[in-house]
Amino acid sequence: MNDDIKNILRSVKDGSLSVDDAYLMLKKDPFADIGFAKVDLHRKLRRGMAEVVYGAGKTSQQITEIISTMQANGQTNILVTRLSSESAEEIKKHVDLRYFDTARLGFTGNMPVSDGNGTIVVATGGTSDMPVAEEAALTAEFFGNSVTRLYDVGVAGLHRLLSHIDDIMSAQVIIAVAGMEGALASVIGGLADCPVIAVPTSVGYGASFGGVTALLSMLNSCSGGVSVVNIDNGFGAGFLASMINHLEKK
């Protein structure tokens, strides 16, 4: 159950909130129709994490209106993914937005204090995988997780990865980001005692087929406990890692 709902129920229980007021808070319109978008206002109540804005394909004006609608309905921390630097500059004229160029990601509000069960490790095969890795790392941090970055630790120089064995062994979740043949996820999966989320990237030469080779390699990993998200989907990996790192007994 989501913390927001729990707080409402606790307030009813201790008498600080009436049943009618609580009912009103829970039955508010589940979305705001602004013509070109239907902004989901109940997603945090349902899933524990509010709606994230996918920036690609949207104009800066559309993104600004979506953010403004969210803010008007009480959401202060808003994440925007796949956001170009040009759009970010336009949005900044109307909204207080922090933008991260490498990850192509921006957010409003403050980065929350980490409240996860442990540390999420984000590892890359090479430096070229960093944009996807940063999207994953910043997404995880945005949702309240402590993140350790291990970049350029691919299997072409295995000693680089093994020099961080303590980080790998102590992680709660590991995100393995790699292109080429995508072997990093299997190697990490064979070392770690936690879930490993593999992210294939489109980095590689011709026969990598834009990340399909890494995707298939990761899907066929012989290491147990390795799951795979889509090619270049750093956001999906960071989101899933945060959900795992916030699991509690039900």
Q: Return the ∠ at Cα 45 (arms to 43 and 51), rounded to 5°.
A: 25
Q: Is the pLDDT of residue 1 over 80?
A: no
Which pTM does this prediction carry? Answer: 0.85
pLDDT digits (tens, 9 = 90+) for 33-87: 667 777 777 676 666 677 889 999 999 999 999 888 888 877 888 899 999 999 9
pLDDT digits (tens, 9 = 90+) for 78-122: 899 999 999 999 999 999 999 999 999 999 888 888 888 999 999
Residue 232 lies in a domain: yes
Please indicate, yes or no, whether residues 158 and 239 belong to a single structural domain of this protein: yes
Please indicate, yes or no, whether residues 134 and 241 belong to a single structural domain of this protein: yes
Given 108, 132, 163, the domain boundary residue is 108
Average pLDDT (174-183) is 94
Strand 173-178 with 146-150, pairing = unpaired
Residue 63 lies in a domain: yes
pLDDT digits (tens, 9 = 90+) for 141-152: 999 999 999 999
Domain region containing 147 = 119-245
Given 74, 89, 108, the domain boundary residue is 108
Instruction: Give pLDDT, residue 71.
Output: 83
**Is 81 in a helix, a strand, or coil?**
strand
Instruction: Give pLDDT, residue 37.
Output: 75
Please indicate, yes or no, whether residues 100 and 176 belong to a single structural domain of this protein: no
Partners of residue 107 on adjacent β-strands:
79, 98
**C-alpha distance from residue 132 to each of 68, 123, 199, 202, 243 (Å):** 27, 11, 8, 10, 19
* Chain mean pLDDT for the chain: 88
Q: Residues 226, 229, 235, 241: is their CA dihedral positive or negative?
A: negative
Q: Is the pLDDT of residue 165 over 80?
A: yes
DSSP secondary structure string, 17-67? Answer: S-HHHHHHHHHS-SEEE-SS-EEESSHHHHHSS---EE-TT--HHHHHHHH
Instruction: Give pLDDT, residue 243.
Output: 93
Q: Is the pLDDT of residue 227 over 70?
A: yes
Given 108, 141, 162, the domain boundary residue is 108
Q: Is the pLDDT of residue 20 over 90?
A: no
Q: Is the pLDDT of residue 28 over 90?
A: no
Instruction: Give pLDDT, residue 8.
Output: 78
